[in-house]
Structure 1
Amino acid sequence: MALTDDEIIAALSEHGSQRGAARALGVHRRTIERRLAGLARKGYSPQHDMTHAVPDGFLVKGVSTYYNREGQPTGQWVKSAQDPERQRELIEQAVQAMVVDLPQLAPRKAEGALWLKKLMACYPIGDAHIGMLSWAEETGEDWDLAIAERVQCGAIAALVEGAPAAAEAVIINLGDWFHYDSMEPVTARSGHVLDADGRYAKMIGVGIKVMRQCIESALVKHKRVRVINVIGNHDDTGAIWLSAALAHVYEREPRVTVDTSPAPFTYFRHGRVLVGCHHGHSCKPDKLPGVMAADRAKDWGDTQYRYWWLGHVHHQSVREYPGVTVETFGTLAAKDAYATAGGWRSRRDMKCIVLHEEHGEVARHTISPDMLRAA
């Protein structure tokens, strides 16, 4: 079992040296040295009069120590911040513990009989931002958890109904499924305050429910369904635990496959077609052809039609590079106050893209919130 920070500190205090602490704990002295380096980042370095370690999941941003005329410390101010990497590790551990108690769905027989084996129906979902709040008086249209649930579920149901009976289907959450990623509605990187509807737990409940409905809708039409949750900039950890939870729920359903890789780039192939998925926040579009060629060299050589599908920018754009087309997708969500003030005005929609294993994209269908409202 891994030693805790408190156990390391206690051993050092009792035995007075790294060698003595290592002997008492039954580990190599180098292990104590490595742990001390990590503890220093958390605020524990006695030789520098730093003895107040911050909690697990945080890092020390600065320490100010006040000394008297005799050089003795008389006061100390410790400033801390969240450690993103450790926060992610803690959440992953919590998810693995929580999903053990989640119910698993029993396998069921597919309803179809004559699936089109050469076709694959793909449902890319751009930036759902479940949990975002928008006020029509300010932004032009209301948006909250209830509306997000109704619109997103209605859109996937309509697209599945209009799709061909392809044997294979892929649901691609292109990132930012959840509007924020912690108990406070702020962005993890910049600390930007977000307009949020409800509490974090309520947002999680709706987000899982909506994704479950997307999967269930696809299972009615298609023989096999693959689910990809791309890591976004609003839900770095949310995408990881959502995949872990869904993988457990559908563990007994052989017709559903949930990708659980935390990698920022995801790929899938259908015959002579190769598709890469990325949120779009950490890599510029002009670099993506090289990324695909390097990551999937054999698949690149074996395929003729290659696509990158991205979210992040909340609007559709298509650019063709040598060997691959890069496309960004819009969102069904309304504008928030920030986007409204920034002048962003894009069409809201969601698409189903039909791929043929030999000819690439052969069809696409589009649904918008206005179409759902009319229906």
Structure 2
Amino acid sequence: MTKPATVDPKLLEYATSTQARYIEAIKEHGSIRAASRALGVGKSAIQDSLGRLKKAAAVRGYAPEFDLQHAVAPGQVLRGASTLYRDGQPIMQWVKTRADDVAMAEIMRAGFEAMASELPRVKPVKAPKVTNAKLANLYTLTDSHVGMLAWHRENLAPNGDWDLSIAERVLAGCFEHMVNASPAARVGIVAQLGDFLHSDGLEAKTPTSGHILDQDGRFPKVVQAALRILRRVVDFALAKHERVVVLLAEGNHDLASSVWLRAMFKALYENEPRVEVIDSELPYYVYQHGKTMIAWHHGHLKKNDQLPLLFAAQFPKVWGDTEKRYAHVGHRHHVEEKEHAGMSVIQHSTLASRDAYAARGGWMSERQCTAITYHADFGQVCRNTVTPEMLEAA
């Protein structure tokens, strides 16, 4: 007689809602296989999820099979444990903890994947009837800083205010202008090039240096606005192009948020075969369009003149298969373009206003976004630039 499967009920304290549902189903039906049939979920998916749960619990200090029975403090992870045994029984234990960024990142990524698995999928929509198979339109939004609060009295700029509602109107409106002004290319690339969110969590500060940021509203409101904007721009692109490639790049302001954005949008458009989300943990990204190489990096880790050699070394096959090559960066909030040996590097401006920090530092730039059309054989063939003022004139 097969022994019924059991799962340690204490693991529920560390489980996501999906993992808790799996544990309850195993308890009710007696085995992982039976729970799999009842839930309509693959057996391996349940096993993998419970494996992640055990790892997450162990990082928090709970792994009874290894004599770890006590959870560590919130915000801490297990660094190590020393146990003194007598006659095979533990009689004394030393537990060391610390904030382990790598382990926390793994837990965070698993959590994002779990949340994404429960998102309702977008239903496929009809593709446009006529597109040019040789063309790819690149629509770049960089350093959008959704959630930033800027005041025209501090930046001395006409229309210099920036908040959640303004960001939503300007970003979606300018993107729509770019799409409408561009040729009917077969491929449309939505390149969100990093720093889409102004802050990376509940505390309004930069994730690496801890600088205090001017933020409009609570972080959940910022997340909701960011998702609405990105959903709208992807839908605009789907109406125009037969195939849509979505890049959600890592920036220095949104190191963690770029992870959950990629996980969520990959899940959202899972059932839409015309959408491809570039899923890369490495913050250097490439797309090959015929003999044209299109590359991206936010700009926070490497300088512009270092990128051609880096992309040649990181992606030698794409480099070798192409004749026209372009790298796109943001980060510095102003336009700059230079042709290097083998690759042109194009630095894009931002649509966002200057916040108080930028205004006091004297950093200025023309607010704009640019759509660039690439030909599979000839490289760049067309550009269209949009400014926020064009929305007021429309």
How far apart, in 1, do the equivalents of 2:217 and 2:93 lie? 40
Pairing 1:87–2:85 present: no
Q: 1:96 to 1:345 in 2, by over 3 A?
A: same
Structure 1 pair 144–12 and aligned structure 2 pair: CA distance change class (3 A): same
Q: Which residue type is aligned with residue 117 of structure 2?
A: V
Q: Is the 8 A contact 1:39 1:45 kept in 2?
A: no
> Is 1:107 equivalent to 2:124 in the alignment?
yes
Counterpart AA for 1:157: E
Q: Secondary structure at the match of 2:123?
A: coil
- 2:32 corresponding residue in structure 1: none
Instruction: Report deviation, 1:53.
Output: 4.8
From 194, 199, 217, the equivalent of 1:180 is 199
Q: Report Cα offsets for 1:275-331 as digits up to 9, x if no partner.
A: 110001111222211111112212222211111100100011011111101111000
- 1:316 and 2:335 are equivalent in the alignment: yes
What is the match of residue 3 of structure 2?
Answer: none
Deviates more, 1:83-92 or 1:245-254: 83-92
What is the TM-score of this pair, normalised by structure 2? 0.77
Q: 1:130 aligns with which of 146, 169, 175?
A: 146
Pick the aligned partner of 1:330 from 349, 356, 364: 349
C-alpha separation in 2, matches of 1:350 and 1:284? 21
Following superposition, the deviation at residue 167 of structure 1 comes to 0.6
- Range that drifts further, 94-103 or 337-346: 94-103
- Structure-2 separation of matches of 1:45 and 1:161: 64
Partner residue in 1 for 2:238: 219
Instruction: Tell me what 1:242 maps to.
Output: 261
- Which residue of 319, 322, 337 maps to 1:300? 319
Show the counterpart of 1:96: 113
| 1:127 to partner: Cα distance | 0.8
Cα separation, 1, equivalents of 2:83 and 2:360:
50
Taking the aligned partners of 1:294 and 1:134, their CA distance within structure 2 comes to: 40
Q: Which runs of 4+ in 1 moved over 4 A?
A: 8-14, 44-47, 49-54
Name the structure 1 match of 2:133.
117
Pair 87,134 (structure 1): closer, same or farther in 2 beyond 3 Å: farther
Secondary structure of 1:236's counterpart equals coil
CA distance, structure 1, for counterparts of residue 65 and residue 317 of structure 2: 53
User: 2:256 is paired with a residue of what secondary structure?
Assistant: helix
- The 3 A distance-change label for structure 1 pair 13 and 344 is closer
Where does 1:44-63 land on structure 2 (aligned, <5 Å)? 53-54=96-97, 59=99
Q: How does 1:157-196 map to 2 (within 5 A)?
A: 157-196=176-215
Structure 1, unaligned runs of 5 or more: 15-37, 60-82
Q: Which amino acid aligns with 1:310?
A: V
Q: Does 1:198 align with 2:214?
A: no
Measured after TM superposition, the shift of residue 52 of structure 1 is: 6.4
The answer (yes or no) to whether the contact 1:120–1:167 under 8 Å persists in 2 is: yes
The number of residue pairs the alignment matches comes to 322
For 1:93, give the aligned amino acid. Answer: A
| 145, 160, 175: which one aligns with 1:156 | 175
Confirm or deny: 8 A CA contact 1:122 1:172 kept in the other structure.
yes
Separation of aligned partners in 1, 2:108 and 2:236: 29
Q: Deviations over 1:130-164 (max 9, x none)?
A: 01111111123110000000000001111111111
- How far did residue 91 of structure 1 move? 2.1
Q: Shift in Å at residue 50 of structure 1?
A: 10
- AA matched with 1:99: A
Query: Any idea what the Cα deviations from partners look like across 1:105-125, whole Å, max 9, x if unmatched?
Result: 111211x22211111111011
Amino acid at match of 1:115: T
In structure 2, C-alpha distance between the alignment counterparts of 1:207 and 1:109, rounded to whole Å? 25
**Residue in 2 that maps onto 1:19:** none
- Structure 2 counterpart of 1:205, one-letter code: Q
The answer to whether residue 262 in structure 2 is matched with residue 253 in structure 1 is no
Change (3 A) 1:13 1:335: closer
Query: Closer, same or farther in 2 for the Cα pair 1:188/1:50, shift >3 Å?
Result: farther
Q: Would the alpha carbon gap of residues 222 and 193 (structure 1) be closer, same or farther in structure 2, given more than 3 Å must change?
A: same
- 1:26 corresponding residue in structure 2: none
Q: TM-score, normalised on structure 1?
A: 0.81
Q: Unaligned 5+ residue runs, structure 2?
A: 1-50, 70-76, 85-91
The 5 A counterparts of 1:347-366 are 347-366=366-385
Paired amino acid for 1:280: G
Q: Is the 8 A contact 1:128 1:332 kept in 2?
A: yes
Maintained 8 Å contact 2:186/2:242: yes
